[in-house]
Amino acid sequence: MKKKLILDDTGVDDAQAIMVALVAPDAEILGITCCHGNTLLENVLKNTLRVLKVCNRLGIPVYRGHFHGKDGLGDVPDPDAPGLELLLKKRAAEAIIKIVSLVATAPLTNLAVAVQLNPTFPKKLKALYNMGENTESRGNTTACGEFNFVADPEAVYIVLDHYSCPTYIATWEFSCRSSLPWSFCDTWLCT
């Protein structure tokens, strides 16, 4: 049985993660939610669609997610932005509860808003995989802060406090040490 994944993405490294997931023989991407992060949300949507187009996978649904406000501190989240909840509602008929894993490679805004809109959301997930934070006090955004956690620290708190599913964090250092060779990309990605 293939692993059913929802991807929450934003930037260049996330585009690479999408491509790797697309060619993984044991993974099925149910949808991709987009988050404001490395660029504006509109650009993230366009970029995600560009990646899917290049990989001939435009059949995968892409959803506009939430953002943490123009001031970076929250303004008021848009409760009508579809994001994760809409994706799960569309797939509810397939009884996907507890068999779907969420892979978050962006700031955790979408995940925090999802649990605020529906407190039972985390219980529907098999697992949460997150790319963020660090273990050696080295940052890629500040002297000791990793981008995804620095971009929306309130969302990080909400997610780590409310998500009860098994949660795995791939830190900045892990990501730096675990790169794929270009030969992998040339051989497998989008061929």
Q: Structurally, what CATH architecture does the domain formed by 3-188 represent?
A: Alpha-Beta Complex (3.90)
Using the 8-state DSSP alphabet, how is residue 181 labeled? P
Indicate the pTM of the whole model: 0.75
Please write the tens of the pLDDT for every residue from 45-70. 888 899 999 899 999 988 887 655 44
Rounded distance, CA 143 to CA 156, Å?
Answer: 19
Please write the tens of the pLDDT for every residue from 123-179. 888 999 998 888 887 777 787 888 889 888 999 999 999 999 999 998 878 877 776
Paired tokens of 158: 């909400």
Structural domain spans, the chain: 3-188
Q: Give catalytic residues, as residue numbers.
A: 9
Please write the tens of the pLDDT for every residue from 91-108. 554 555 578 899 998 889
